[in-house]
Amino acid sequence: MTATWVKRAFKYRFYPTDVQAAELSRTFGCVRKVYNMALAARTEAWMIRQERVNYNATSAMLTAWKKTRELAFLNQVSSVPLQQCLRHLQGAFANFFAKRARYPRFKSRRKSRASAEYTSSAFLFRDGELTLAKMSEPLDIRWSRPLPEGATPSTVTVSRDGAGRWFVSMLCDDPTVQPLAAKDTAVGIDAGLDHLLTLSTGEKIANPRHERKDRARLAKAQRTLAKKTKGSANRARARLKVARIHARIADRRRDHLHKITTRLVRENQTLVIEDLTVRNMVKNHTLARAICDAAWSEFRSLLEYKALWYGREVIVVDRWFPSPRICSTCGTLQGRMPLSVRTWTCDCGTTHDRDVNAAKNLLAAGRAVTACGAGVRPQRNTPGGQSAMKQEVSRREP
């Protein structure tokens, strides 16, 4: 039964003592140092000798590094986070060779995430208290929600964000995550900026624009930061103030997306979305800030893993599908349609809201995929005889 349970991370904020904070900061630095040294060793071995170095070889290197005078400080922290960072590096190379990611990059002291991962041999979880290796006192954790009954963490990840907040993430088997009762409802979802989401039912979900609400505060804090002398204590305090505003924006955005995706997954069996190329869309400097604030990629990620948990289906329609320009009533493909056109009337007499019409067409395309197989899209013919998809592709070709 345990093998069918979902692995789920429960994240909590905690407040370390000065001794614990110093120990964890030292661990973060050692993890970053070992990761960068191992990455440099693997890169050098390939560039000079055309030799691939695996995890076992870097683990042996770590043992040798600890015996040197220059790197003897690595013995002062728990060895488990150091071994885990080598495993993470191995995973990064595996993703690179499988063409799922770019070549691994070095960790920066200022920009990289400060974190350390502990396996079960390096922490003690008993009676609701968590004690990490090299520490004599348990962490002061704020239990915002309970762990699943009887759950024991398999790994614990401690991190510190740019705003100076400390978090601990516990990976557990969660027996409460089970497929929901099947429904016969399906919904098309069109992402936008005027409204964050428009559903094929006609419902429009407002875009909170969290970044815009705090833009004045953020700009003031950034101007103050720019005036401070680099390396000074005043600059460090100003940087922390900017980071806290960014953290507030990100937290509110993430909370809003969690609520929306949970509701959509609970209410619908099939969810159809469009395959948006956000990476290319943010190259439009006029809309880049608004697109980043909408967080379409994060919305899709949350929707997909929740659908997987609860037995729902997410269908992604091809990015070239001209959903706003097809009449959802008669199937006629319209000509060019600028973003400024929010409503339009088809030759059949139907007046469409651009976003609602797009959501309806996405739902129709998703149903076609379900009925005919993956990759199939409705090829509605225009009066001229050319399919909607072919016209859209030809329109985008140079």
Write out the catalytic residue numbers.
190, 274, 355
Tokens 């929901």: give the residue: 180
Residue owning tokens 């609701």:
128
Chain Cα centroid distance, residue 127? 32
Question: Which token pair is 33?
Answer: 């140092």
Pairing of strands 270-274, 186-191: parallel
Residue 185's alpha-carbon distances to 43, 180, 191, 388, in angstroms, are 51, 13, 19, 27
Helix (H) or strand (E) holding 352: strand 351-353
Whole-angstrom CA distances from 136 to 19, 90, 115, 131 are 10, 32, 20, 7
Among 249, 89, 222, CA closest to 161: 249
Spatial separation of the C-alpha atoms in residues 358 and 192, rounded to whole Å: 11
Q: Give the DSSP letter string of 138-204.
A: ---EE-SSPPPTT---SEEEEEE-TTS-EEEEEEEEETT--PPPP-S-EEEEEE-SSEEEEETTS-E
Nearest alpha-carbon partner for 181 in 45, 30, 375, 312: 312
